[in-house]
Amino acid sequence: MTGERSVLNEYASLTDWLQEIAMKISEEVFFRPIKPGKWSPAEIIAHIRAWDDYLLQERIPYLSSGASLTGLASTVEEVNKSAAAHAHSGFSKDEIINETVKERQKVVEHLKPLDRKQWTDTFYIDKFPLCLTSYIKGLIEHDEHHKLQIEVFMSENGLLLTLN
């Protein structure tokens, strides 16, 4: 179970990054696009929260050996638009970050009690075989992509990036 715990711990570590790094962004910079035509840190972080909610509602309850799940083609645009709108619906930087932390913690709490078999059982998304371990590793890569975007943006805006 060590490998699965390691993956889960890495997935959970986003909350530390949000609290230690993302909280350093000023309110004004938080809502500024990272590049023309791109999302702001607020939208990116709201996007992560939205997909954690999707995972909690639409994936985890249906993951079992041999399960066949539909892909995301029709869902991606809808979830992303909703997340971007949420980021600009009057919430503060702290509220957006804190709700993302809470959503990630909820997902982690749902994954903690799963045994090795549940982490390694094969399921399918559009006939593509996966296991929970590889699925969560893919989400970690997604997190890393967005964290890097935000960190580069912070650096470009003169914000020091050091962990406490």
The H or E element that residue 17 is part of is helix 14-20
The residues, ordered by sequence, that sit 6+ positions from 152 with a Cβ below 8 Å of its Cβ are: 34
Percentage of the chain with pLDDT > 90?
A: 77
If one counts every other C-beta atom within 10 angstroms of the C-beta of residue 155, the result is 11
Helices 132-156 and 2-12, interaxial angle, to 10°? 30
Using CA atoms, how far apart are residues 87 and 106, in angstroms rounded to an integer? 20
Weakest mean pLDDT among 48-52, 64-68, 70-74, 76-80:
70-74
- Which structure tokens are listed for 75? 């869902």
Q: Provide the pLDDT confidence category of residue 74 given band limits of 50, 70 and 90.
A: low
